[in-house]
Amino acid sequence: MQARLEFTRFPTSVLAFVFALVLAALIGGMLGYVIKPATPGGETSRVVVIRSDQLVESNSRDNACVFIDHHKAC
């Protein structure tokens, strides 16, 4: 009987594939976070309320013209 020396190689191709997959996921996540579009939903919105009696008084003092059928009549 003859003895043989066998080497069991470490699966470097599998390890390289897993490493590349993890690296691609990390880079994709970082780029997705940095390049994401600005959304207006995160900001607070403000509403300005103008009473109608103030609007009529200010317009009547400044301008006596009236719009009728998209034409200005003074």
- H-only helix segments in 3-71: 12-34, 52-62
Going from N- to C-terminal start, the domains of the chain cover 12-37+47-73
pLDDT in tens, 28-73: 999 888 887 766 565 677 788 877 665 555 545 556 677 778 777 7
Give the span between the Cα atoms of 61 and 2, in whole angstroms.
114
Per-residue pLDDT at 32: 86
Per-residue pLDDT at 27: 95
| pLDDT exceeds 70 at position 4 | yes
Question: Residue 67: CB partners within 8 Å, gap ≥ 6?
Answer: 73
Give the span between the Cα atoms of 49 and 55, in whole angstroms.
11
Per-residue pLDDT at 16: 93
